[in-house]
Amino acid sequence: MDDTSAITWARVEKDFFVASTTGTFLGTIDYEAGRGFTARDMRAMVIGSFPSLSLAMSAVVDGCRSEDGAMT
């Protein structure tokens, strides 16, 4: 099974998104006009700012993968 299929994204507020898998918090994304989408990991550390929500989502997911590609 592809680990990304188990990821759930929830829109908590208008410009705030949270990612999780079963029992594991993965990170967040928030949008700020003029700055774009800021992705944060499970420890609230900034991964980066991105021009689109899909790029920010990919960054959160990629940041949770171990070297062998499994979700951590």
Residue 18 lies inside a defined structural domain of this protein? yes
70 within a domain of the structure (yes/no): no
Does residue 13 lie in a domain region? Answer: yes
Q: What is the pLDDT of residue 64?
A: 75
Say what the pLDDT of residue 22 is. Answer: 86
**Residue 69 included in any domain:** no
Whole domain around residue 28: which residue ranges? 3-63
State pTM to two decimals. Answer: 0.81
d(CA 19, CA 37): 14
Q: Quick one: pLDDT at residue 23?
A: 81
Per-residue pLDDT of the chain (72 residues; tens, 9 = 90+): 345 568 999 999 999 999 999 888 999 999 999 999 999 999 999 999 999 999 999 999 988 764 444 555
In which residue are the tokens 């790029």 written? 55
Tally of domains within the chain? 1
Residue 71 belongs to some domain of the structure: no
Asked if residue 68 belongs to a domain, the reply is no
Report the b/e string of 24-62 with b at 16+ CB within 10 A: eebbbbbbeeeebbbbbbbeeeebeebeebeebbebbbe
